Amino acid sequence: MAVLDYPLWQAEPELLQLHEQLAIEKLQELARYDLVGEVRRAIGSTLESGETTLETVAAQLSITPRRLRTQLSEANTSFQQILSDYRCRLAKKLLANTNESVERIVYLTGFSEPSTFYRAFKRWTNETPVEYRKRKQR
C-alpha cells in the first residue's frame, strides 16, 4: 500500500462535503454570470433594430423566455436591468467620446422616442445628455 493510500486520522468528511458543495455552487454562479455576458452580446446585436426584447434575446440564445427570466433571476438580475445598464453605458460612451448627435444616440441606444431617452438618461446620471457631454468633453 502506497503512502497516499493510507486514511488520514485527522480527516473530516463533513468538512470535505461542505467544501465540495460550496465549489459546486460557485461553479453554478460562474455559469450564470456567463449567461449575463451572453445576454449583453445579444442585446448589442439587436439594439439598433428596435427588436430588443426578452423574447428575441431568448430566441438568439436558443432558450425559452421563461427559462431566460428564471436563470437571470438566479443570477440576481433581470433582462430589464441588463438592457438598461447596456443602454446607459453605450449612451455615456457615445456622448463622451463621439460627436454623434443626441438624436442619433437615441437611435443607436434602441430608444424609439427622444423623450424616453432623455428621461432614462436623467434617471441614470441626474444630468441631461447635453450636460453630460459638456462635462465629459471639457
| CATH no. for 14-136 | 1.10.10.60
Percent of the chain at pLDDT above 70?
94
Res 100 pLDDT > 80: yes
Return the number of other C-beta atoms located less than 10 Å from residue 20's C-beta. Answer: 10
Q: What is the mean pLDDT of residues 94-118?
A: 94
Look at residue 38 and tell me whether its pLDDT is greater than 90: yes
- State the Rg of the chain over Cα: 23
DSSP codes of every residue in 110-124: T-S-HHHHHHHHHHH
End-to-end Cα separation, the chain, in angstroms: 74
pLDDT for residue 132 is more than 90: yes
User: Is residue 63 predicted with pLDDT exceeding 90?
Assistant: yes
Q: Find the mean pLDDT for residues 9-28.
A: 80
130, 102 in Cβ contact below 8 A?
yes
Return the domain boundaries, the chain.
14-136
